[in-house]
Amino acid sequence: MTLAIDARGLRKRFGRTDVLAGLDLAVPAGSVFALLGPNGAGKTTTINILTTLVRPDAGTASVAGYDVVAEADEVKRRISLTGQSAAVDEVLNATENLVMMGRLSGLGRRAARDRARQLVERFGLGDAAGRRLGTYSGGMRRRLDLALSLVLPLPVLFLDEPTTGLDTRSRQELWRVIRWLADEGTTVFLTTQYLEEADRLADRIAVLDRGRVAAEGTAEELKSRIGGDVVELRDADGVLLRELPTDGTVHGLRAAIDELDRGADAQSPGTSVTIRRPSLDDVFLAITGGGAASAPAPELIESK
């Protein structure tokens, strides 16, 4: 397996705070890899190290086969980074922004115009290509920002919370583009606070807690580690009253339902029982303790 990103034992301290405390990552080429974690867990610091913006205090990392410290210039030639805010020129329209970026990236006039035309169509901006950016929605701006990152085809794309602040429709449009990029062979490394985003997009997911990877795997692998189905008791308005995990067997389901039925809540008119599969929300809460820095749950730690 060819790795687009390979990090071993990364450490970074700011002041007295250990932001990364021995981070290990292995990202296969051509995949979408999502890094999850509560605020302050070290997601942005990880991206800053992998994109050569910050030097690690210890450990090693290579991106596209090059060391991020010793061969930083080679890494920069092979990566693109889209941050949390749209880095676009408000005075220009979409086509002008893309042509300008192409020229700054070394393309000739004709090549820059041709590439701009391709990206405008690919990212669904054709009808608005000649409009000033002040008329763009948040989703259109983010798509343009992503297009600007791809003026030169590069093997690794870093996305730091790319859909923050977008509405559902705009977020789904951006997901479609990200999935297309991976299908075309680009390695996409993204951080996100939206668990559904990781569930829908990522080939593999790592959950970061206290500066280390507490769990890693596919979405289904992570969900399976916290047990079987969950039986929920809801009132007549659909409000969750109680929930119990089960092992997914008929016996386990009956036992959980009997336990719920013994409670006073179950006697209220209109209560109902539902069964659901574990979600990434369950995984995230089990590992991070609901968002605060916490010790990794032993049963969720990836074996080495």
Domain span at 156: 3-223
**Domain identity same for 233 and 204:** no
CA 128 centroid distance within chain: 28
**Domain identity same for 204 and 271:** no
**Domain identity same for 29 and 117:** yes
**Domain identity same for 163 and 233:** no
**Domain identity same for 27 and 133:** yes
- Asked if the structure places residue 43 within a domain, the reply is yes
Q: What radius of gyration do the chain's Cα atoms show?
A: 22
CB 197 within 8 A of CB 284: no
- Asked if the structure places residue 300 within a domain, the reply is no
- Asked if the structure places residue 180 within a domain, the reply is yes
**pTM of the full predicted structure?**
0.76
CB 302 within 8 A of CB 50: no
Query: Each residue of 164-203: b (16+ CB within 10 Å) or e?
Result: eebeeebbebbbebbeebbeeebbbbbbbbbbebbbbbbe
What is the count of structural domains for the chain? 2
Q: Any idea what the CATH number is for the domain that residue 109 is in? A: 3.40.50.300
- Asked if the structure places residue 288 within a domain, the reply is no
Give pLDDT tens digits along the chain (304 positions): 799 999 999 999 999 999 999 999 999 999 999 999 888 889 999 999 999 999 999 999 999 999 999 999 999 999 998 876 656 777 788 899 899 989 988 899 999 999 999 898 888 888 888 888 778 887 888 888 888 888 888 899 999 888 877 778 878 888 888 888 888 899 999 998 788 889 889 999 999 988 899 899 998 888 877 666 788 888 888 888 887 877 767 888 788 888 887 776 767 787 888 887 777 877 787 777 654 333 333 333 333 3
Task: Indicate the residue type of 128.
Answer: A
Helices (H), the chain: 43-50, 72-76, 94-104, 109-122, 138-149, 168-183, 195-201, 219-224, 250-261, 280-288
- Asked if the structure places residue 297 within a domain, the reply is no
**Domain identity same for 180 and 259:** no
